[in-house]
């Protein structure tokens, strides 16, 4: 069985964001605490005992406290069920949580060479000593099996693939420590239980749904997909910032070229939005946008949602 726990569903900043007074953030602080959401990450396991994180968000500590599956096993003085972390990009909301995993437990970081170069260029990540925390490069279109700390097989195979996207925003206009073009800066993942053949896709950032991506996702049992903004210009029109979704490498939920329209009719069993920005009105239950998304078969998950395939 492939188990997936949504540790967090929000985009960078979370809900509420520390410095934001938008309608969603105000409600999340006040009469609607159920709107609160931590920054996007999932945990996956094939055996229920060993878990792998997809991205390590700045909210990781809070997410681990809230997730019993990820607590140290009873009777062990030092232990973590987390055997590894797969990074899909080098954004702060994908890597900052690594710094909360610095107390000496062994695990493996799986990431594209571009993202590993970012970690290497930032010496603060040296707190994760390479004798305990292996850094394993992964390659686009090359499947690999996740390993447990003792080297044995986890039963989970990952296929990383390139997704239209952007480099981390703090690297915009700067030399990338990993050099080269944009390849490897944004990955999607196909995550498969090798015993059962069940699988899901994880795309927390995606700037465009190409025909090739449609073909890939067609017929999937479960897809987690970029739900950052409802409308491309919503942050500008709400007065929250100058960036469009596209300029941040994120497709909108709505519109002819949006995620809802693009992924319609692909025979995907379960579609879940992740990485949802606090400006997105689809977060609000009862909103017109929420009912359009749900009416099209999409789910906006609460943190802690567990799915078993």
Of 15-23, 31-39, 111-119, 258-266: span binding Zn ion (CB under 5 A): 15-23
Query: Helix (H, G, I), strand (E, B), or coil: what is residue 26?
Result: helix
> How far apart (Å, rounded) are the C-alpha atoms in residues 246 and 115?
21
Which of helix, strand or coil describes residue 56?
coil
For Zn ion, which stretch binds (CB under 5 A), given 164-172, 199-207, 277-285, 295-303? Answer: 277-285
Is residue 82 close enough to count as binding Zn ion by CB under 5 A?
Answer: no
214-218: which pairs have CB atoms within 8 A and are 24 or more residues apart?
Answer: 214/262, 214/263, 214/266, 216/161, 216/190, 217/263, 217/266, 217/268, 218/266, 218/267, 218/268
For Zn ion, which is the closer residue by CB, 185 or 234? 234
According to DSSP, residue 237 is labeled H
Among 18-26, 28-36, 72-80, 194-202, which window interacts with Zn ion (CB under 5 A)? 18-26
Instruction: Kindly tell me which of 37 and 88 has the beta carbon lying closer to Zn ion.
Output: 37
Residue 28 binding Zn ion, by CB under 5 A: no
Cβ proximity to Zn ion: between 20 and 252 the closer is: 20
- Report, in Å, the least distance between residue 25 CB and Zn ion: 3
Q: Which is nearer to Zn ion, 113 or 284 (CB)?
A: 284
Binding flag, residue 39, Zn ion (CB under 5 A)? no
Task: Give me the least distance between CB of 35 and Zn ion, in Å please.
Answer: 10
Q: In what order do the strands lie in the sheet with 51-54?
A: 133-138, 107-112, 82-86, 51-54, 41-45, 3-8, 306-308
Q: Which of 2, 10, 25, 205 binds Zn ion (CB under 5 A)?
A: 25
For residues 249 and 205, give the distance between their C-alpha atoms in angstroms, rounded to a whole number.
7
By three-state DSSP, how is residue 276 classified?
A: strand
| Contact set with Zn ion (CB under 5 A) | 20, 22, 25, 278
């Amino acid at each position: 069985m492939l188990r997936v726990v949504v540790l967090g569903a929000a985009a960078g900043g979370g809900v509420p964001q520390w410095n934001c007074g938008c309608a969603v953030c105000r409600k999340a602080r006040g009469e609607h605490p159920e709107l609160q959401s931590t920054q996007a990450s999932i945990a996956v396991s094939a055996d229920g005992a060993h878990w792998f994180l997809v991205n390590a968000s700045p909210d990781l500590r809070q997410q681990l406290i809230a997730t019993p599956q990820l607590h140290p096993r009873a009777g062990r003085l030092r232990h973590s069920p987390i055997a590894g972390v797969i990074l899909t990009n080098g954004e702060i909301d994908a890597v900052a949580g690594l710094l909360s995993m610095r107390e000496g437990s062994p695990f493996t970081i799986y990431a594209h060479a571009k993202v590993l170069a970012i970690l290497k260029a930032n010496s603060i990540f040296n707190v994760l000593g390479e004798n305990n925390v292996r850094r394993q490069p992964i390659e686009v279109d090359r499947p690999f099996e996740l390993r447990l700390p003792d080297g044995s097989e986890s039963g989970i195979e990952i296929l990383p693939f390139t997704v239209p996207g952007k480099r981390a925003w703090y690297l915009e206009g700067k030399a990338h420590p990993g050099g080269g073009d944009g390849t490897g800066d944004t990955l999607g993942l196909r995550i498969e239980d090798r015993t059962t053949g069940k699988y899901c896709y994880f795309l927390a950032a995606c700037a465009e749904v190409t025909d090739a991506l449609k073909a890939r996702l067609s017929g999937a049992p479960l897809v987690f997909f970029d739900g950052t903004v409802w409308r491309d210009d919503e942050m500008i029109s709400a007065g929250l910032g100058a960036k469009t979704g596209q300029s941040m490498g994120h497709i909108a939920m709505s519109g002819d070229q949006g995620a809802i329209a693009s992924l319609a009719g692909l025979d995907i069993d379960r579609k879940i939005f992740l990485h949802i920005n606090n400006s997105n009105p689809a977060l609000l239950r009862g909103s017109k946008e929420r009912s359009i998304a749900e009416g099209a078969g999409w789910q906006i998950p609460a943190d802690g949602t567990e799915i078993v395939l």
